Amino acid sequence: MDEFNMTDLGKMRYFLGIEVMQNADGIFICQRKYVVELIERFGMQNYNSVCNPIVPGQQVGRDEAGVKVDSTLYKKMVGSLMYLIATRPDLMFVVSLISRFMANPTELHFTTAKRIMRYLKGNSGIWDMIST
């Protein structure tokens, strides 16, 4: 402040869409607001929530015989889910799994991506606070 004109804005609250909370116990980050915006962006407000991000035992493979879907929409959804991995380690496996099929997504892959969104809708409070 001696050399440059500066203003103290207080503690950081948001950084790149990630909410930052600082207190005596530590620094906590979450993306609750981003999850809500994500659900609204993809029109999934009226979908039912689920307990698991993927059906237990489900095999997700190439599915070459499956019905092709809009790859642009699929890429947007998967990319948005990838951004959540920073604060949601419970999504790491399933998001990396569906990201393998960005070139030729089918109904199976798109349904799996939508299931992750449904999981987020019902479980926004479980993993959203990560201590740094």
d(CA 94, CA 58): 11
What are 89-117's pLDDT values in tens digits? 889 999 999 999 999 999 999 999 999 99
The model carries a pTM of 0.80
What are 25-62's pLDDT values in tens digits? 888 888 888 899 999 999 999 999 999 999 888 888 88
∠75-68-50 over CA atoms, to 5°? 65
- The string over 39-61, giving b where at least 16 C-beta atoms fall within 10 Å of a residue's C-beta and e elsewhere, is beebebeeeeebeebbeeeeebe
Residue 82: strand, helix, or coil: helix
Neighbours of 131 (CB within 10 A): 8
